């Protein structure tokens, strides 16, 4: 699992440019599924056929990133944020500008503090005041490099090991879910599963749950599990009253997120997963969140409604280039979902 998430995290694919991630999923999933296709939105749809209920497993492929919106006369790039960035995390980061001619390294710069006024130093720098420096001499130089309006930009980070089974890297939200969905399909390929399982890599989750909405409409499954990351309350700056979760203590089964404005999970789906975890001694946690939601919000409102929940990996510092998770939790999540497939006919 560590090798798999490293491969996925080190690859690049912001919302709307998920092709690199989709290619990895296609390669990894092909031995374990009966059908595979890419729909009009760019979602990867794979199917393992069965005679029982149909289950959609959804993991979004996109990561938050940037997009070039303007190239000034000196060759510096202004950008828009694609997805939910906290502006101070962008400052002074290395980035990769993904042109049709190939990747170009750059850095995010801003006005030096030495020339800031006193009131400017007291405030964090806004993204609107930042720019990307690729070393271009002028606008024409940048254009000759292949940089155009609309060129996607991602963070230049690679996975590194921390102590005690933890790793850090970019885009664990949601390459963790992609790694889990691959391992689930690997496991159930060796099981006698009655259900039809749709393993779906969705696009553009970070900018409106878009791929989940269209793929769920097309598939119309009997139930669904979104696989994603969520916020733990086990580090400085956050209280347990805001999140009871810890990394390393199992996957988080969502009861509700966004205080119910997003998903209120189907009770039978939650019961199925919790009883599976208990029966198989798989560590798990339950999650009620006040902010943030996932693909399950779009899926469960599709057509006449699809019973859904989320299985998440508690991940520190999400929506930053230095996310942290415990590799053991990836396996806890995939084991839980795979084992649950064996009893789906008893619940649905």
In whole angstroms, what is the distance from residue 320 CA to residue 336 CA?
27
What is the residue whose two structure tokens read 């979004």? 60
CB atoms within 10 A of CB 299: 30
Q: How far apart are the first and last CA of the chain?
A: 30
Alpha helices for the chain (secondary structure H)? 2-10, 19-29, 118-121, 139-144, 172-188, 210-219, 267-279, 295-300, 327-341, 344-347
Give me the catalytic one of 18, 28, 63, 205: 205
Alpha helices for 62-165 (secondary structure H)? 118-121, 139-144
The two structure tokens encoding residue 164: 């005690």
In whole angstroms, what is the distance from residue 347 CA to residue 313 CA?
24
> Is 323 a known active-site residue?
no
256 bridge partner residues: 264, 288
Q: Looking at the chain, which runs of residues are DSSP E strands?
A: 35-38, 44-48, 54-60, 65-71, 77-82, 94-99, 102-109, 131-133, 152-155, 160-161, 166-169, 196-202, 223-230, 251-256, 284-288, 308-314, 323-326
Residue 259: partners with Cβ closer than 8 Å, 6 or more residues away? 289, 290, 291
Which residues are catalytically annotated? 205
């Amino acid at each position: 699992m560590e090798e798999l998430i490293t491969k996925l995290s080190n690859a690049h694919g912001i919302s709307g440019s998920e092709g690199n991630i989709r290619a990895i999923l296609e390669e990894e999933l092909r031995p374990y599924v009966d059908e595979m296709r890419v729909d009009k939105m760019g979602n990867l749809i794979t199917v393992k056929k069965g005679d029982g209920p149909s289950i959609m497993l959804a993991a979004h492929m996109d990561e938050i990133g940037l997009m070039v919106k303007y190239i000034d006369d000196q060759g510096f790039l202004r950008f828009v944020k694609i997805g939910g960035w906290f502006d101070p995390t962008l400052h002074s980061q290395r980035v990769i500008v993904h042109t049709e001619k190939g990747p170009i390294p750059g850095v995010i710069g801003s006005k030096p503090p030495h020339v800031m006024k006193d009131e400017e130093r007291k405030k964090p720098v806004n993204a609107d005041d930042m720019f990307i420096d690729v070393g271009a001499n002028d606008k024409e130089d940048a254009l000759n490099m292949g940089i155009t309006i609309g060129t996607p930009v991602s963070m230049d980070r690679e996975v590194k090991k921390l102590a005690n089974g933890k790793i850090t890297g970019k885009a664990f939200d949601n390459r963790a879910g992609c790694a889990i969905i691959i391992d689930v399909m690997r496991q159930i390929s060796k099981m006698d599963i009655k259900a039809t399982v749709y393993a779906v890599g969705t696009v553009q989750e970070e900018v409106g749950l878009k791929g989940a909405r269209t793929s769920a409409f097309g598939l119309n499954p009997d139930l669904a599990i979104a696989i994603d990351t969520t916020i733990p309350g086990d580090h400085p700056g956050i209280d347990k009253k805001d999140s009871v979760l810890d990394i390393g203590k199992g996957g988080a089964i969502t009861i509700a997120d966004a205080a119910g404005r997003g998903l209120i999970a189907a009770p039978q789906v939650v019961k199925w997963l919790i009883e599976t975890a208990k029966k198989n001694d798989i560590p798990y946690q339950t999650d009620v969140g006040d902010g943030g939601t996932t693909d399950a919000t779009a899926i469960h409102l599709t057509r006449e409604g699809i019973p859904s929940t989320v299985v998440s990996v508690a991940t520190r510092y999400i929506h930053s280039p230095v996310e942290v998770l415990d590799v053991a939790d990836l396996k806890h999540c995939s084991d839980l979902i795979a084992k649950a497939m064996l009893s789906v006919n008893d619940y649905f």
